[in-house]
Amino acid sequence: MAHVVTGFNHTGIVVHDMDAMVKFYTEVIGLTKLREIEAVAPPTGDHTGFPGAKRKLVFVGYPDGQQIELVKYYNPAEKPGHLDRNHLGTAHLCFNVSDLAKVHSEFASKGVKFQTEPKWRDTPAGRVGIIYARDPEGNWLEFIQPAPGGGH
């Protein structure tokens, strides 16, 4: 049987402060704001399962690649709270970087909170660096400097 899933489309994150989150992902992380949509579901509901849902969607990412859909719910309103790293359902976004030490230094100077200093390990493909952080609303981020040979 042939695979019917053909690739990734986007990753969605529910946000509280859309302006702050768009600013973070474009000005700190360096993604591009691709499009913005005001969405209102019909009274019978749509794919979200919320009849009459009203939300704003802003897509950031790479025009020909991965995208993050930032979703601001107005109705029903978002619920507060985040899961810790080891809770079921917790997710994180992972970015490849070319210079982990530089990312750590530059992003920290812009207020990004990291869990640790960069961690390094040697692999058969070369040295790999990795670090965890959080965005302004507490979503988990991971940054990896892959080995020169492509491994991590």
The CA distance from 152 to 150, in Å, is: 7
Task: Indicate the CATH number of 92-145 among 3.30.470.10, 3.40.50.300, 3.30.830.10, 3.10.180.10.
Answer: 3.10.180.10
Is pLDDT above 70 for 26? yes
Residue ranges of the chain assigned to CATH 3.10.180.10:
11-75, 92-145
Which residues pair with residue 70 across a beta bridge? 13, 58
Geometric angle at alpha carbon 78, from 75 and 84, rounded to 5°:
165
Q: Give the number of other CB atoms < 10 A from CB of residue 137.
A: 17
Q: Give the number of other CB atoms < 10 A from CB of residue 135.
A: 19
Q: Would you say domain 11-75 falls under CATH 3.10.180.10?
A: yes
- The pTM of this model reads 0.86
Name 12's Cβ contacts closer than 8 Å, sequence gap at least 6. 68, 69, 70, 71
The string of pLDDT tens digits covering residues 67-118 is: 999 999 998 888 877 777 777 778 889 999 999 999 999 999 999 999 999 9
pLDDT confidence tier of residue 1, bands split at 50, 70 and 90: low
The string of pLDDT tens digits covering residues 31-60 is: 999 999 998 887 877 777 778 889 999 999
**In the structure encoding, which two tokens stand for residue 77, read together?**
């309103």
